[in-house]
């Protein structure tokens, strides 16, 4: 039962996350959604969406990786967003779409509240503080912006992500490496070298999360549930 939902378009942050989703769709027969690589971060994403570079779909699935703000969620966990908050604002994902997705994933997914941040949250202490302050489970840099845009356009949206870093350990501060919606290789390498232990942990967590992202994509669209 390929693409039974049906889903017209998958949006996924450019780079490793986009590649993981594309690998997951490799070999899938039948109706395959269009996979669109989107910029990283709230402002670059909004600019991209406002340019209308792809036809308005009726159903959008946003995929990728995220960070945990709670001890309940650890590396490799699959999460489905119920809603996204940005300080003072809330946007909800489409409930029936999310429910359908949840029943289609054989591996257990957790329903979560996401905090969208306009900057990278790299400190474990700040993650825990934000989780408590906003009663949020995970953090990303695109969710709220995408929901706000598509909800206003009457497009059904669901979000499925995989946790790549927990709230117990710091990850490297990659802020200098994020520019115009993408990760720049040289500043990224410098940031990783400055914090080798945190970098090793980030790489390991990201590889685990990307593998799960690839697997869940494949199961979702190949009907192997």
pLDDT in tens, 103-134: 888 668 999 999 999 999 999 999 999 999 99
pLDDT at residue number 174: 79
Distance CA 29, CA 114 (A): 32
Q: Determine contact, residues 74/170, Cβ cutoff 8 Å.
A: no
Distance CA 164, CA 201 (A): 10
Residue spans of alpha helices (H) in the chain: 16-25, 42-50, 95-104, 124-134, 143-152, 185-194, 196-222
Distance CA 37, CA 39 (A): 7
Query: Is the pLDDT score of 225 beyond 60?
Result: no
Query: Is the pLDDT score of 1 beyond 60?
Result: no
pLDDT at residue number 28: 87
Question: Which of 66, 67, 97 has its CA nearest to residue 82?
Answer: 97
Query: Is the pLDDT score of 2 beyond 50?
Result: no
Distance CA 36, CA 88 (A): 29
This model's pTM is above 0.85:
yes
Query: Band of the pLDDT at 54, cuts 50, 70, 90?
Result: low
Tell me the pLDDT tens digit for each residue of 130-187: 999 999 999 999 999 999 999 998 999 999 999 999 999 998 887 777 777 777 787 7
Q: Determine contact, residues 50/90, Cβ cutoff 8 Å.
A: no
Tell me the pLDDT tens digit for each residue of 66-115: 999 999 999 999 999 999 999 999 999 999 999 999 988 866 899 999 99
């Amino acid at each position: 039962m390929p693409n039974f939902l049906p889903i017209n378009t998958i949006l996924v942050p450019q780079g490793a996350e986009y590649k993981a989703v594309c690998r997951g769709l490799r070999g899938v027969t039948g109706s395959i959604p269009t996979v669109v690589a989107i910029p990283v971060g709230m402002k670059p994403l909004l600019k991209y969406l406002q340019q209308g570079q792809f036809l308005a779909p009726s159903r959008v699935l946003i995929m990728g990786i995220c960070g945990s703000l709670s001890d309940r969620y650890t590396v490799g966990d699959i999460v489905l967003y119920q809603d996204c908050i940005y300080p003072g604002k809330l946007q909800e994902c489409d409930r029936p779409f999310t429910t359908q997705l949840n029943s289609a994933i054989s591996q257990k997914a957790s329903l979560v509240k996401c905090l969208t941040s306009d900057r990278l949250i790299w400190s474990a202490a700040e993650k825990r503080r934000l989780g408590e302050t906003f009663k949020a489970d995970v953090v990303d840099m695109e969710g709220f912006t995408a929901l706000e845009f598509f909800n206003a356009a009457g497009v059904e949206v669901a979000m499925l992500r995989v946790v790549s870093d927990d709230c117990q350990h710091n990850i490297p501060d990659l802020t200098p490496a994020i520019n115009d919606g993408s990760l720049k290789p040289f500043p990224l390498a410098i940031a990783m070298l400055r914090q080798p232990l945190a970098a090793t942990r980030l790489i390991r967590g990201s590889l685990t999360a990307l593998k799960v992202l690839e697997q869940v994509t494949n199961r979702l669209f190949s009907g192997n549930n």
